[in-house]
Amino acid sequence: MTDRNTMAAEAPRSAYMPKTRLAVSLMFLMNGFVVGSWAPKIPVLKDRLMIDEGTVGLLILTFGIGSLVFMPIAGGFISRLGSMPITRSLAVVLAPILLILSLVPNLPLSFVVLFALGGFVGAMDVAMNANAVAVEKQMRRAIMSSCHAYWSLGALIGAALGGPLIAGFGEVAHAAFVMVAGLAVIAVAWPMMLADQPHPEAEKEKLALPMTPLPWLIGIVALFSMVPEGSIIDWSALYMRNELGASTALSGFGFAAFSATMAIMRFAGDHVRDRFGAVKTLRVCTVLALIGMVTAGLAPSSTIAIIGFAIAGIGISNMVPIAFSAAGNMPGLAPGIGLSVVTFMGYSGILFAPSLIGFIAEHTGFSLIFTCIPLLFLVVLALSGLTVHADAAKD
């Protein structure tokens, strides 16, 4: 009798869960689409406001500050209300933000909108990842890599369409398209999202930083893996246009190629890691990322740069997921503590480092930047053995 009841209970859930997985994947897709659409707008915003690379770097820094300010706030609301309503709300307010940015007339208002853009992107990132974790628990299988693959796919679509749409129809029309497309994706995902349970007791737990070096070292792996990713997101279009002579329509294709190969490899990431192990996968990915970044930095033409960014996407794709997986499976440490350290360090790299890169590039150019950033990968290789704990996730 118990078996029959169990089977009866499992049947509806097995039919229901694929919808919740599709819903959270679509939210990742939408978030990535907005970020990817932001990348080709950077050169246009620079020209419209008549600012230099250093000021663009400050705008990008403001984006990063917004993200890191909103992330813990989102975590508190998720604890009280659950991830579903927070993900939905943030997606709705994120959809029109690029249109607002396209209409602001001056630099001070641009700083305000960039702070909001970064905040909504970062807070939604926390919320949709929390919803993905809830779906994983319900499905009893890993879906996180594929969710991040959908993010990369969205970023690819946004970056690939952004340049041609801006060149053909202008930045306002492009931003309006992003808003309409984003709201359409939200409408499809809205009724299918998993309504997870809130955890108000989590707010009462004291946050204690770990005293052991392991989470901080793996945090360095995440940090040095995400700095190059952030540099490509924010500066590849400007690099290709200003230093390689690419057109406005073509300038976004460096990031588009990077996002394409990253999405493909993230869809395959779980299978690759299961077969070869986390450490070997990380080392091969790191070497490929190094080769790709150097190729892009030394490229004599935009075509070679696009190829270099594509190779970098293959390598970087699974470096961060491996670091996050290792953080959640460290021996003797609660998963939340390890993940909090590694996530903060990693996102600091993708959010703050590009602003510093902007200041440096104003004096050196982006070619030297993209050629030297791969030195960070040597540190990742040196620490790669620590990610053996990522393999505990499949035990």
Whether residue 223 sits in one domain with residue 361:
yes
Residue 7 in domain: no
Please check whether residue 143 lies inside any domain of the structure.
Answer: yes
- Host domain of residue 137: 13-196
Nearest residue to 296 (alpha-carbon basis) of 350, 249, 243, 359: 243
| Domains held by the chain: number | 2
Shared domain check, 176 and 44: yes
Q: Are residues 177 and 294 located together in one domain of the fold?
A: no
Indicate whether 153 and 238 sit together in one domain. Answer: no
Q: Is residue 235 part of a domain?
A: yes
pLDDT in tens, 58-77: 888 888 888 888 877 877 78
- How confident is the model over 174-186, as pLDDT tens digits? 999 999 999 999 9
In a domain, 60, yes or no: yes
| 50 conformational bin, left if phi > 0, alpha if psi -120 to 50, beta if neither | left
Cα(192)–Cα(20) distance, integer angstroms: 5
Please tell me whether residues 103 and 230 are part of one structural domain: no
Which is nearest to 66 in space by CA: 119, 144, 117? 119
How open is the CA angle 20-25-28, to the nearest 5 degrees? 135
Q: Are 257 and 309 in contact (CB under 8 A)?
A: yes
> Could you tell me if residue 282 is inside a domain?
yes
| Domain co-membership, 172 together with 225 | no
d(CA 29, CA 219): 26
Could you say which of 196, 228, 251 is where a domain stops?
Answer: 196
Per residue in 348-360, pLDDT (tens digit) is 777 777 777 877 8
Asked whether residue 36 falls in the same domain as residue 166, the answer is yes
Q: What is the CATH number of the domain that holds 21?
A: 1.20.1250.20
Q: Is residue 5 part of a domain?
A: no
Q: Do 229 and 255 sit in the same domain of this protein?
A: yes
DSSP code at position 20: H
CB of 373 within 8 A of CB of 231?
yes
- Mean pLDDT for 82-100 is 93
Q: State in Å, rounded, how far the first CA of the chain is from the last one.
A: 31
What is d(CA 391, CA 249) in angstroms, rounded to the nearest whole number? Answer: 42
251-296 confidence digits (pLDDT tens): 878 888 898 888 888 888 777 877 888 899 999 999 999 999 999 9
6, part of any domain:
no
245 φψ region: left (φ > 0), alpha (ψ -120 to 50), beta (else) = left
pTM surpassing 0.75?
no
Are both 262 and 167 inside the same structural domain? no
Q: What is the pLDDT of residue 3?
A: 41
In a domain, 25, yes or no: yes
Region 232-241: what's the mean pLDDT?
A: 84
DSSP string, 277-344: -HHHHHHHHHHHHHHHHHHHHT-SSHHHHHHHHHHHHHHHTTHHHHHHHHHTT-TTS-HHHHHHHHHH
Residues 246 and 273 in one domain: yes
Residues 241 and 184 in one domain: no
Q: Give the other-Cβ count within 10 Å of 195's Cβ.
A: 12
Using CA of residue 200, residue 205, residue 206, residue 208, what is the dihedral sign?
negative
**Does residue 277 come out as left (phi exceeding 0), alpha (psi in the -120 to 50 range) or beta?**
left
From the number of C-beta atoms within 10 Å of its C-beta (0-12, 13-18, 19+), residue 57 rates as buried
